Each structure stands twice: as structure tokens, then as C-alpha cells.
Amino acid sequence: MNQPDNLLDPRHYDGVRRPPLEAETLPAWCYTSKEWFDLEVKHIFRKSWILIGATSRVPNPGDFITLTHTGSPVIVIRGRDNVIRAFANTCRHRGAILLEESQGTCKAAIKCPYHAWVYNFNGALQGAPDMEESKGFDRANYGLVPIRLETWGPFMFINFDNNAPGLKKWAGEMYNEILPYDPENLVCTRRAEFDVQCNWKLYVENFCDVGHVKTVHKDSLKKLADSYDKPVETEYVKAEGFSFFVTHAGTRTLLDGVEKKKGFDRIPTLTGRTTHGSYYPILMPLGCIGYCVDSAWALEFYPLGPDRIKLVVNSCFHKDALKCPDFEEVAKDYYYRMDIAVPEDNWINELSQRGLSSPHATPGRIGKLETAIPYLNNWWLDQVLGPASQPSTKGARVRAAL
């Protein structure tokens, strides 16, 4: 299907706007076009909360990580006051990258490698050599550019938009659903990175596609899915996102599903339904998180273009589990589950990308096990097209009907 001249004409997306079981999938160009991707960067990634890993990545004052999200280099650093802050990783003198390493610890301050301007962990400019004759130069005006950072449970999120709603409002009714998992005491013990040749949306859609487990994961996760006590429940709530809840015995984060045999003890604070199930919040536009009886995991996405992502899989455990003398040995089985299942998803998402790159790819239809995908598609479309351009076919209306 050829890309039209005017990507923003809402009529191209009428099929996506229908009720889920009447809806079409997004046109192929939404997954392949650089022009569409650039619109997503502007309207989605510069305005939404983006998961960037766990707070345990920066446990002590001065600890930092760096990342680049859709072209924007960022420093995340824990201050002496224990507050984690994010800044643009660009010097206020002549723009150099300040911290090159992907993680580390700043002993006293952040020092630019170019002319040694020095910033404290709060971003304030403390030292600027050879600037004493520069007229009207006031260090107070040249602190690092702050980027919003908030946490939800064990995970950090950034938002490049100073006017976006806060993360608590964004997560809405999902915000407190994670509390039984004692989220403040979950620690990320492994980040596994993958380079995947697919559009970021395909990966999120796949995460929300209940039906693919019996095919793509037929040799791995299928037996876990076969043992669900009832169908996966999709919960549309007041939030920029929605959630799945799966009722089951045992754990979903070990391949054999048997927790006591060789897994960790349950998270000690579980109550109600969380004692016999798993909770999966999807925080738009791309936060895919799983809270399970004995661990949590999350996907971090770094879109590198329309057809490529860096994917990071976070594995998290309760601090009590970390005290087990054989923690590393037991955790290997949890990592193994991810190392088997994630490449299966990588493979199928890359196949989807290759198929959608065909000039003959046309919009498809949504089946009963993938009715969350229209929610995703409509939310993403709403951001890119904007409410003014599609007054009568708002995705919000479709989402409200779900």
C-alpha cells in the first residue's frame, strides 16, 4: 500500500476508528515511514511518559546513567538529597555531551570534558573557567536543562513536556493497583538488551496480543497460558493506558510455572487477587510492565527509526529474595524464561516488519484475542493526528466503548 501524500488526512484511518471487532489495523506506512516516525517523535515521544528502567540503576548519590531517547541525550543522576533528577546531556557552554559512559558515579560534580564547566548534581552551574570577562554572564542562568522524571513503583519515567500531566494522573486508576507488590522494594537485577529490526508499535501490540502465545510461544510459554484459570481480563480504566489481569496458580515468570519447586518466595505483601494472578499495566505510549507473585519485569524501548528498536528487558525481585544465599543461581531460571520467550517475540516482530514493508501490505482486521490493539492504535493516532483534525472520529470515543 503506497504512502499517501497527506499522512495527516484522517480519512486514511477511518478503518482504525471503528469498534474493535470491526476495526482495521493501522496502515502499513505507520510502521515503515520515516515521515510518520518523525511525527511520532514530535507528538508522542516528546509529550508522554517514557519508562527508562528501575530506580535501582542509580542507588547512591552521584550515581548516574545516560541514555538517548529518540535523538535526545539524557543524564539521570541521584542527588545528595537522594532525589533522582534528569537533565539534557548537553553542556550549556558550547553543547558538548557531558557524560559519555552509559553509567557510573560522579564523585563531586558533573564536569564537561571540553572546557571544564562544572555542574552540581542538581544541575546548577558551579564553575565556568575563563568566563570572567564575558559581559553579563551569570552562572545562575546556565544550569543544565532539566527533564521531568518521576517514578512509579520501581521504575523511572521521563517526560520531555513540561506541560504534560504528572505521572500519577497519567497512570490514573492503575496507579495504586501495584501497591500489593511492595513496588518500592523491588530491585532490578538484570537488564538484557536486544537490537530488534521492527517498529516500536509492533512490539507493544505483540505484548497486548493474547492470541500469539499458543503459536509464537508454542514451545515455551504456551503451557503457562494453557493453565490460566480463566481468560485474560482486559481492564479499561481511567488512565492513559489499560491493564491485563491473568488469574493462575504458581508463577508466570518461570518456564515451568511452578513457584515453590525452585523459585523465590512470594512477595510478602501480596493481597487479594494478586495472590493468585499477574497484573500487566500498559502505560501509553509504550510502557509494558508485568507484576507477578514473585517478581516484576518491564520492557524499555528506544525507537531508533521506523524499523528498529533497542529493547531492554528488566528483571526485578523483592529485596527479601536478594538476601537468599543462592539468589544468583535461582534468578538464572527467571532470566532463562526471558531469554527463551523474548527472542521468540523479537523474531515474530521482525517478520511482521518485513511483511509490512511489502508494497502489497494492506490493513488487516482484529480478532477476539487482540481487541486491546485498537486501543493502542487509536491512542497513538490521537496524538499524531491531534483532536482538531479528527473531530467526528475521535479515538477516545472508540476507547470509551471498549
SS3 state of residue 351:
helix
Listed residue (212, 86, 101, 198) closest to 150, CA to CA: 86
Least distance from C-beta 352 to Fe ion, angstroms? 12
3 state SS for 296-327: EEEEEEEEEECCEEEEEEEEEEEHHHHCCCCH
Q: Is 137 in the site for ligand FES (CB under 6 A)?
A: no
* Binding mask of the shown chain, residues 40 to 69, with x at each position contacting ligand FES by CB under 6 A: ------------------------------
For 47-96, strand residue ranges (E) read 50-54, 63-69, 72-78, 84-88
Q: Which does 110 bind (CB under 5 to 8 A by kind): Fe ion, ligand FES, none?
A: none
Assess 112 for contact with ligand FES (CB under 6 A). Answer: yes
Q: How far is CA 195 from the centre of its chain?
A: 15
Nearest C-alpha neighbor of 375 from the set 282, 273, 248: 282
**Number of chain positions touching ligand FES (CB under 6 A):** 10
- Taking CB under 5 A as the criterion, which residues in 322-361 touch Fe ion? 345
Would you give the distance in Å from CA 1 to the centre of its chain? 30
Residue nearest to Fe ion according to CB distances in the complex: 345
Q: How far is the CB of 348 from Fe ion (least distance, A)?
A: 7
Grid cell listed for 183: 513496588
x/- mask, ligand FES, residues 66-105, rule CB under 6 A, reads -------------------------x-xxxx---------
Whole-angstrom distance between the N-terminal and C-terminal Cα of the chain? 29
Contact partner at residue 345 from ligand FES, Fe ion, none, CB < 5 to 8 Å by partner kind: Fe ion
Tell me, by CB under 5 A, how many residues bind Fe ion: 1
Distance CA 402, CA 394 (A): 13
Q: How far is the CB of 212 from Fe ion (least distance, A)?
A: 6
114 forms part of the interface with ligand FES (CB under 6 A): yes
Chain residues binding ligand FES by CB under 6 A are 91, 93-96, 112, 114-117
Chain residues binding Fe ion by CB under 5 A are 345
